[in-house]
Structure 1
Amino acid sequence: MTETFARRPDAATLERAAAWYLDLRNAGPDAPEHQEHARWLALDPTHRQAWERVQRLRHTFDQLPEAVGRDTFHAAHSARRQMLKTLTVLLMTGATGTLAWREKEAIQVLTATHRTGTGERSEITLADGGQLQLNTATALDVRYDASQREIRLHHGEILITTAPDPQQRPFIVRTRHGSIRALGTRFAVRADTGDSLVQVFEHAVEIRPADGATPLLLQTGQQARFSATATQPAAPLEANADAWSNGLLAVDNWPLGRVIDELARHHKGHLGCDPAIAHLTLSGVFHLDDIPGVLQNLSATLPIRVVYRTRYWVRVTAS
């Protein structure tokens, strides 16, 4: 017998459903948000599944004492992000409070001490004076103790400039795939679902996959991907790989599909590319804080058309 598994809403979809809940609860019956919400529901079956969870959660909130409900539903605008985080966690736990292992990982992302949303970047000065820059959609925890300095990168991308430590504690970045130990260096780590990418701009780092594969030493000007079980061979570092820290995407003869994938990381919603034109190549420097402007410039120089179904749903097709 063949068993099939239906897709389930991921953390980003549940967070978006929670955001729709906040947006719609004070919207009038004729507000344009209702039409945009309906289009969002129709984009993917998991969107409707996520919204059904919202409806079940709404009943739970109706049972709250009046004071709790008022504090929750009428929080000030400055508390919206924390409120959104709380709602998303509740969507994940559901009525039973039982978490699947993937949902537990998502909870780590949502409750991380340092986090950027889609399209956001931030910078942190660490306790030892080191600098940590967070790219879009990044979540991490900083853990310093007497024996080591540790960054737990749950998701996203960071650029680290380490500082000398009088206690000579090791500086380690951990992802779900393993650990990266800094050897007096400036380097970047990107944690995706399937693997992690390490890029070294100064000095060296040592990569150790979680399941005990042979460690890999990366030197200045090198990069490598690794999973929990293996490391790929070291490769030359791509030019301007850290341009994102200045709000830029620098590409040299990249296929359009890859460019759109990178821009999509900074776009709040869906940004996709028709496979028929994904092979087109281009070079240039683009501003990550102006995705619509970048797409407009691309459409002026390439045989493509940018289709907006809503401001959140965008697709690049052949002209």
Structure 2
Amino acid sequence: MADIWDAIGLLGIEDVRADTATPQMSRRWAMGGLLAAGLTGAAIGTALWTQRPLTYSTPVGGQLTVALNDGSRVTLNTGSNLEVRFHGRKREIRLVSGEAYFEVAHRADRDPFYVTAGAARIRVTGTRFAVQLHPDQRIDIDLLEGHIRTGKRGDHAVEEAGVRSLSAGQALRLDKQGEVLAQIPAESLRVENWLNQRAYFHDTPLSDAVAEMNRYRTTPLVVDNATSARVRVNGVFDTHNSGDFVAAVQALYGIRLRERTPSA
């Protein structure tokens, strides 16, 4: 039976806006799988879990923290989708969309922890890092603690030459093919703030700041002209109260943001 829980990879879900997040495997289905395993042998149950990874998702504005059975933790940000596949020594995660923060437990009795996002594949032992998969399939990787190695999806030997290694405080920006666009300092303040439902902006173009706030809104905000879009903004804002952001932009920069109407 322990092998079945290893295959699931799940220990528990913590209450971080969990009411707005959606695990995609029902308790009824899970219990059915366990009963089937009891009737036909644990090996069948394990294979069943391996074929169908456990999936977690958050809606717009949602956030969810999941504790895995190896001691690792994953926090999903707004509008994100994640697949977890644990079996035996193997630990595989796929970020299907959105953004996730990982606290990976070092386990000598397990294989390295792998995260796939778009065209990128990340090899981890024990560390803290964030990955964002943009809608256009660009990938941001910010390493807050430890070491990771990154290669392209499908390259399971991420120890080979040409693979990038990152140390704490470093970040990579990759294109949709997994090629490196830039290696920069990690945006640790941005990551730490979104973990607390805040958006952090430092000398950020208004267009980028609006795009970030829109990730938490069902009705997007719009900047009306290119000149305003280039204005640099600073501040920390509650991602669930974008009215404060709109008011601050108007008060500090004299720029009025509007909501996009369905016909706009």
TM-score (norm 1): 0.59
**Aligned equivalent of 1:247:** 197
Please tell me whether the aligned partners of residues 128 and 163 of structure 1 are also in contact (alpha carbons under 8 angstroms). Answer: yes
1:161 match: secondary structure? strand
Q: 1:171 to 1:309 in 2, by over 3 A?
A: closer
Higher strand content, 1 or 2: 2
Query: 2: distance between equivalents of 1:151 and 1:273?
Result: 36
CA contact (8 A) 1:182 1:205 kept: yes
1:202 partnered with 2:145: yes
- Aligned identity (percent) is 27
Measured at CA, do residues 271 and 171 of structure 1 come closer, stay the same or move farther in structure 2, by a change above 3 Å? same
CA distance in 1, matches of 2:194, 2:164: 25
Counterparts of 1:115-194 in structure 2, within 5 Å, are 115-192=57-134, 193-194=136-137
Q: CA deviation at 1:307?
A: 2.5
Q: Which runs of 5+ in 1 are unaligned?
A: 1-77, 83-110
Equivalence map 1:299-314=2 (5 Å): 299-308=250-259
Asked whether 1:221 is paired with 2:163, we answer no
- Residues 102-123 of structure 1: CA distance to partner in whole angstroms, max 9, x if unpaired? xxxxxxxxx9720001111111
Shift of 1:195: 1.7
Cα distance between partner residues in 1 of 2:172 and 2:58: 24
d(CA) in 2 for partners of 1:202, 1:309: 39
Q: 2:234 aligns with which of 283, 298, 308?
A: 283
Instruction: State which of 182, 185, 193 in structure 2 corresponds to 1:236.
Output: 185
User: How far does residue 299 in structure 1 lie from its aligned partner after superposition?
Assistant: 1.4
2:75 is paired with a residue whose SS is strand
Gaps of 5+ in 2: 1-18, 24-52, 156-160
Q: Deviations over 1:46-75 (max 9, x none)?
A: xxxxxxxxxxxxxxxxxxxxxxxxxxxxxx
> Is 1:211–1:229's contact at 8 Å kept on the other side of the alignment?
no
The structure whose RCO (Cα within 8 Å, separation 6+) is larger is 2
User: Normalising by the residue count of structure 2, what TM-score does the alignment of the two structures yield?
Assistant: 0.71
Aligned to 1:266: 216
Backbone CA RMSD of aligned residues: 2.5
The answer on whether the counterparts of 2:56 and 2:82 sit within 8 Å (CA) in structure 1 is yes
Cα distance between partner residues in 2 of 1:166 and 1:219? 20
Q: Give the count of matched residue pairs.
A: 206
The alpha-carbon distance between structure 1 residues 206 and 297, as it changes in their structure 2 partners (threshold 3 A), is same
Distance in 1 (CA, whole Å) between partners of 2:195 and 2:80 is 13
Does the CA-based 8 Å contact 1:218-1:234 persist in structure 2?
Answer: no
Classify the secondary structure of the residue corresponding to 1:252. strand
For residues 54 and 258 of structure 2, the distance between their equivalents in structure 1, rounded to whole angstroms, comes to 35
Whole-angstrom distance in 2 between the partners of 1:239 and 1:154: 22
| 1:146-192 Cα shifts (integer Å, max 9, x gaps) | 23211111000000001132523210101221211113210001112
Cα 1:261–1:151 change in 2 (3 A) is same
